[in-house]
């Protein structure tokens, strides 16, 4: 089977998805499907077929977080029981080249990648993504609307780097590059509001398409995808995160669909289809 024939999300109408004459899905009547895995992000992406993913929205645990923790300028990773160093593993900057190589390979010919990013890591991530073939458009700003902890200028925003593979039109070219959504308080460490992912998913995918997050955490990207009628494949190295994401996806009305993982995978996972942790 070649890469394009495996992309049933783009080529074949799925059960429950209405398809207009032009071939685009215009809505869906069936619940969105999802699959979750528990592995290293790069290893997991390597199991997916080339060009099998319609949109990547992801939020790695940056190396720079370690620095902030070391000097005590952030406490948000320390206050929950689930947020010790052991629990919240960091993704080293040195691994960005392999991450972007896999991201570029799995994305459809014309597709977008959104990477949540901080003001330090963007200088590492941008050239690494460009070296893999992505076109960098701009950083979007997530305006959290209230200041957080810290010093100097108190932090009120995070960045989302917007990359393109090939050429894909945004749905609405009247959307501003500042997305104002209140921060999440007391949630999963570094949890992003589903409302931010909502904007990105609407802009860069169609109902019935496949959205992927390789650092899914509590599953916010998946929740937004499910609410918008997209299918979702998520992954996180932490089994506890995967369990939280599974609960949130079920609450959002999505249904486990092992066929998604199988369709997107070039090798079979050794773990279970939902929340399975092969390690
Ligand atoms: C910033 S959090 C993601 C939060 C998520 N956006 C949310 O809203 O809940 C980053 C996640 O990356 C995971 N992680 C760290 N290193 C990883 C790796 N090598 N592969 C996969 N996941 C990893 C952590 O367990 C953590 O859940």
**How do residues 149-168 score in pLDDT, each as one tens digit?**
877 899 999 999 999 999 99
Q: Give residue 50's pLDDT.
A: 97
Q: How far is the CA of 238 from the centre of ligand 1 (A)?
A: 8
Strands 135-143 and 157-165: antiparallel
Question: If pLDDT is split at 50, 70 and 90, which confidence band does 276 have?
Answer: very low
Three-state DSSP at 170 gives coil
Ligand 1 residue neighbourhood (C-beta within 6 Å)? 40-41, 59-61, 88-89, 91, 188, 190-192, 215, 217-218, 220, 236-238, 241
Distance of CA 140 from the midpoint of ligand 1 (Å): 20
CA of 25 to the centre of ligand 1 (A): 31
User: Is pLDDT above 50 for 272?
Assistant: no
> From the alpha carbon of 214, which atom of ligand 1 is closest?
21
CA of 216 to the centre of ligand 1 (A): 6
The per-residue pLDDT of the chain, averaged, comes to 83
**Is the pLDDT score of 65 beyond 80?**
no
pLDDT over 80 at 18, yes or no: no
How far apart are alpha carbons 164 and 167 in whole angstroms? 7
The domain ranges of the chain are 32-264
Q: What is the DSSP track for 186-227?
A: SSSTTPPPHHHHHHHHHHH--TT-EEEETT-TTTHHHHHHHH
Query: Ligand 1 center to residue 40 CA distance, Å?
Result: 10
Q: By three-state DSSP, how is residue 83 classified?
A: helix
Give the class (CATH, top level) of 32-264.
alpha beta
- Write the pLDDT tens digit of every residue in 223-243: 999 999 999 999 999 999 999
If one residue of 61, 64, 94 were mutated to test the ligand 1 pocket, choosing by the most ligand atoms within 8 A of its CB, it would be: 61
Distance from the alpha carbon of residue 20 to the mean position of ligand 1, in angstroms: 37
The pLDDT value given to residue 28:
64
The answer to whether residue 127 scores a pLDDT higher than 60 is yes
Averaged pLDDT for residues 27-33: 78
149 vs 65 pLDDT, higher one: 149
- Give the mutation target among 237, 248, 271 for probing the ligand 1 site: most ligand atoms within 8 A of CB: 237
Q: In the chain, pLDDT over 70 holds for what percent of residues?
A: 77
Range name among 28-32, 59-63, 204-208 with the lowest pLDDT average: 28-32
Compare 87 and 99 and report the one with higher pLDDT: 99
Q: Dihedral sign for Cα 28, 29, 30, 34, please.
A: positive
Ligand 1 nearest atom to the CA of residue 193, by list position: 8
pLDDT of 106 over the 80 cut: yes
Binned at pLDDT 50, 70 and 90, residue 186 comes out as: confident
Nearest-atom index, ligand 1, CA of 187: 9
pLDDT of residue 265: 80
What CA–CA distance (Å, rounded) separates 102 from 244? 26
Tell me which residue of 158, 152, 159, 182 sits closest to 71, measured CA to CA: 152
Give the neighbor-by-neighbor strand order of the sheet with 157-165.
178-180, 135-143, 157-165, 107-117, 53-58, 210-213, 231-235, 33-37, 255-256
User: Which residues, 6 or more positions from 120, have their beta carbon under 8 angstroms from its beta carbon?
Assistant: 62, 64
Task: Give the confidence band of 87 by pLDDT, cuts at 50, 70, 90.
Answer: low
Q: What's the pTM value of the predicted model, to 2 decimals? A: 0.85
Tell me the residue ranges of DSSP E strands in the chain.
17-19, 25-28, 33-37, 53-58, 107-117, 135-143, 157-165, 178-180, 210-213, 231-235, 255-256
pLDDT exceeds cutoff 90 at 70:
no
Cα(128)–Cα(98) distance, integer angstroms: 9
21 C-alpha to ligand 1 centroid (Å)? 39
Q: Per residue in 212-226, pLDDT tens?
A: 999 999 999 999 999
Q: CA–CA separation, 190 vs 236, rounded Å?
A: 14
């Amino acid at each position: 089977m070649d890469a394009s024939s495996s992309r049933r999300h783009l080529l074949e109408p799925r059960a429950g998805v209405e398809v207009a004459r032009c071939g685009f899905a215009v809505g869906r009547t069936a619940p969105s499907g999802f699959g979750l895995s528990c592995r290293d992000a790069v290893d997991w992406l390597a199991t997916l077929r080339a060009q099998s993913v319609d949109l990547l929205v992801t939020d790695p645990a940056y190396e720079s977080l370690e620095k902030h923790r070391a000097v005590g300028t952030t406490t948000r990773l320390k206050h929950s029981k689930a947020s010790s160093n052991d629990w919240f593993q960091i993704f080293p900057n040195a691994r960005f080249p392999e991450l972007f190589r896999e991201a570029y390979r799995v994305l459809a010919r014309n597709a977008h990648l959104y990477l949540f990013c901080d003001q330090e890591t963007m200088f590492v991530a941008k050239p690494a993504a460009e070296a893999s073939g992505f076109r960098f458009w701009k950083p979007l700003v997530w305006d959290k609307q209230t200041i957080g902890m810290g010093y100097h200028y108190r932090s009120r925003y995070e960045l989302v780097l917007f990359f393109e593979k090939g050429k894909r039109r945004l749905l609405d070219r009247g959307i501003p590059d500042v997305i104002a959504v209140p921060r999440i308080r007391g949630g999963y460490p570094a949890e992003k509001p589903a409302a931010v992912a909502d904007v990105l998913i609407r802009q860069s995918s169609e109902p019935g398409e496949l959205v992927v997050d390789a650092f899914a955490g509590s599953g916010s990207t998946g929740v937004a995808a499910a609410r918008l009628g997209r299918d979702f494949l998520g992954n996180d190295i932490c089994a506890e995160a995967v369990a939280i994401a599974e609960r949130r996806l079920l609450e959002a009305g999505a249904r486990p669909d092992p066929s998604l993982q199988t369709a997107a995978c070039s090798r079979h996972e050794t773990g279970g289809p939902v929340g399975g942790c092969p390690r």
